[in-house]
Amino acid sequence: MHPRLHQAQFLIAAGRPDQLPVGGREVAFAGRSNVGKSSAINALLNRNKLARTSNTPGRTQQIIFYALGNADRRLVDLPGYGYAKVPHAVKEQWGRLIETYLLDRKSLVGLVLIMDARRPMQEFDQQMLEWADHFNLPLLVLLTKADKLKANEARRTRDFVKAELASRFPDMRAQLFSATKGAGVAEARDQLVAWLGLEEPAEGEPGTR
Ligand code: GDP
């Protein structure tokens, strides 16, 4: 595990565009509420409770930033979508916040889209794929809770999602993941390290988008 991933700490919870950190590079995590996004972030960072569940109404309006050792490299926890008790107006606000974020975020070098391996490619997931494609953003799908499927079912799901991506978004990738069993964690970490340029010697360079 790369040392910078070990050094993650809470940076800021931003509710407005003017609160977003400036410069550096970051990878954002998106997913439906309760999909296992917090658990995935915690597993990737080898922490128990750094990322908290998005399953509360207040969390739908904030983008959480974690600094990786230094604030010039960050992971970003986007609010989970689809919390049942959230009123329609808040869902609209969610869309505006995410869209504003994605629209003009030069430091954003990659998006990790968390899908439930038992129910991949839901409407929200499709929307995120379209957005990432539109904004030319590299994207990795983590098919999480893979431990809840039999091995052959998990492989079939992965192949289905890969085939869907290949036909519509050929640059996007997908892999199986389990926060509880650790499956796919090392592979996903490698992608974070590559996107964030953590192996590159120079510091302080601008984002690559
Ligand atoms: P979030 O709302 O997307 O952040 O979801 P959480 O990370 O809070 O996870 C929602 C629920 O799914 C919790 O009860 C987790 O324990 C469970 N969960 C998350 N990831 C996994 C996984 O990989 N395997 C299993 N079996 N359960 C998981």
Q: How far is the CA of 208 from the centre of ligand 1 (A)?
A: 32
Q: Where are the domains of the chain?
A: 3-196
Check residue 61 and give its pLDDT: 75
Check residue 204 and give its pLDDT: 54
Check residue 205 and give its pLDDT: 56
Locate the ligand 1 atom nearest the alpha carbon of residue 178 and give its number. 23
Return d(Cα 113, Cα 191) in angstroms, integer: 13
Q: Quick check: 64 and 76 in contact, CB under 8 A?
A: yes
Check residue 53 and give its pLDDT: 62
The Cα diameter of the chain in Å comes to 47
Return d(Cα 196, Cα 27) in angstroms, integer: 7
* Ligand 1 binding site (Cβ under 6 Å of any ligand atom): 31, 33-39, 53-55, 80, 144-145, 147-148, 178-180
3-state secondary structure of 10: strand
Return d(Cα 63, Cα 192) in angstroms, integer: 19
pTM summary value: 0.91
Check residue 127 and give its pLDDT: 87
User: For every residue of 112-181, which 3-state class applies, written as one string?
Assistant: EEEEECCCCCCHHHHHHHHHHHHCCCCEEEEEECHHHCCHHHHHHHHHHHHHHHHHHCCCCEEEECCCCC
For ligand 1, pick from 39, 62, 86 the residue to mutate: most ligand atoms within 8 Å of CB: 39
Check residue 155 and give its pLDDT: 97
Q: Quick check: 147 and 195 in contact, CB under 8 A?
A: no
CATH class of 3-196: alpha beta
Q: How far is the CA of 174 from the centre of ligand 1 (A)?
A: 19
Whether the CA torsion 38, 133, 128, 174 is positive or negative: it is: negative
Q: How far is the CA of 130 from the centre of ligand 1 (A)?
A: 25
- Could you read off the pLDDT tens digit of each residue along the chain, which spans 209 residues? 999 999 999 999 988 888 899 999 999 999 998 899 999 999 999 998 888 765 555 566 789 999 999 999 999 999 887 655 566 666 677 777 777 888 889 999 999 999 999 999 998 899 899 989 998 999 999 999 999 999 999 999 999 999 999 999 999 999 999 999 999 999 999 999 999 999 876 555 555 55
